[in-house]
Amino acid sequence: MISYATITGTRSTLAALREAGWRLFITPFSCHWDPHGFRGAVDNGAWTCMQRGIPFDEARFLACLTKCGDGADFVVVPDIVAGGMDSLAFSLSWLPRLERYPLVLIPVQDGMTWDEVRPHLSPRVGILLGGTTSWKLRMARYWGTLAREVGCYYHFARVNSKKRIQIAMDAGADSVDGTSVPQFPCTLRKLDSQLRQGHLWTSGF
């Protein structure tokens, strides 16, 4: 499972992330920082907009895509945090505008089900598990099962603890992201250790 840390400008943290083999999660509010040659993915910034109490910043997202979208591991399709079917409709309206990117992820939110999301998934259009914390933890395996059946990519958002890492692994996630390491660099060792132990455990060794 691939782990992404929110991009940071702290060189010592970047060096530790590079040594551990982590990648960067670039948001429209952080793409002014140099990614220093890291591989990374591009988020849409909706979560930050929600936290700041401002509307989705389309111009900032498009500017981030222009700077960092080419070569990104994936791009997160714009969504409405905890917006249910309104969020899905908003995401689907963006898909034609993101056709040039090899892998885009639709954020799934509280209230969505397989029936509404499945027709839009493919090897190029995957799932990002968003939504409220209680919902996403309860539904992690549910969406992981769909991802396996369809054969699409599955990303588990906002993973900042050893327990969440294991839940994501158990659900079959391909990748996770979190803010813990940029905020508290001392957490890298324990989180990376859980990633490695989890891989060994799921491999049967």
pLDDT, one tens digit per residue, over 15-35 is: 999 999 999 999 999 877 777
103-137 per-position pLDDT tens digit: 999 999 999 999 999 999 999 999 999 999 999 99
Q: Are strands 154-156 and 125-129 parallel, antiparallel or unpaired?
A: parallel
The beta strands (E) that lie in the chain are given as 2-6, 23-26, 40-42, 75-76, 104-108, 125-129, 154-156, 175-178
Q: Residues of 194-204 as b/e, b for ≥16 C-beta within 10 angstroms?
A: bbeebeeeeee
CB 105 within 8 A of CB 155: yes
CB 105 within 8 A of CB 76: yes
Residue ranges of the chain with per-residue pLDDT less than 50: 200-205
Instruction: Tell me the domain boundaries of the chain.
Output: 2-203
pTM for this prediction: 0.93
How many Cβ atoms sit within 10 Å of the Cβ of residue 123?
Answer: 11
CATH architecture of 2-203: Alpha-Beta Barrel (3.20)
CB 5 within 8 A of CB 21: no
Provide the mean pLDDT of the chain: 92
How many Cβ atoms sit within 10 Å of the Cβ of residue 1?
Answer: 18
β-sheet bridge partners, residue 126 = 105
